[in-house]
Amino acid sequence: MAMMNMNIKQTEMEQNTGLCLYLSSEQTKALGLDKLPEVGAEVPIKAIAKVKRTMVEDDGEGKEHYLTLEIMQMEVGKFSGGMKEAGSLLYGASDSDA
């Protein structure tokens, strides 16, 4: 699956807002983030999430799909395999990986 831009404008009145994660002090320690990155820095993340809720609404103009995910495992920072490795973790190895 391709990397997608999550910085999506919801309405004309709202600012562009990406998908945000808040990590507590305990969570940053568990991730080995002894030194926090600078505000505005971009860091790669890799995560495994559990689907907690799905919803489809039809407002008469089309269907809107909603999804709630619970992050179960996460890694922040550099990782060796990049997005190909992350895809294998999420979706299993493809035939071309074998």
Is the pLDDT confidence value at 20 over 60? Answer: yes
Predicted model pTM: 0.58
Q: Is residue 25 part of a domain?
A: no
Q: Is residue 49 part of a domain?
A: yes
Distant-in-sequence, close-in-space partners of 47: CB < 8 Å, separation ≥ 6 = 71, 72, 73, 74, 75
From the list 7, 28, 24, 25, the residue with the least C-alpha distance to 16 is 7
Structural domain boundaries enclosing 72: 44-87
Q: What's the number of domains the chain is made of?
A: 1
Confidence at 98, pLDDT banded by 50, 70, 90: very low
Is position 5 within any domain?
no
Q: In this predicted structure, what is the pLDDT of residue 88?
A: 57
Structure tokens at 33: 């983030």
Structural domain includes residue 69: yes
98 part of a folded domain: no
pLDDT at 79: 58
The pLDDT, as a whole number, for residue 40 is 87
Residue 39 lies in a domain: no
Separation of first and last alpha carbons in the chain = 18
- pLDDT above 70 (res 10): no
| pLDDT tens-digit map of 39-96 | 888 889 889 999 999 999 998 989 988 889 999 998 888 655 554 554 555 556 555 5
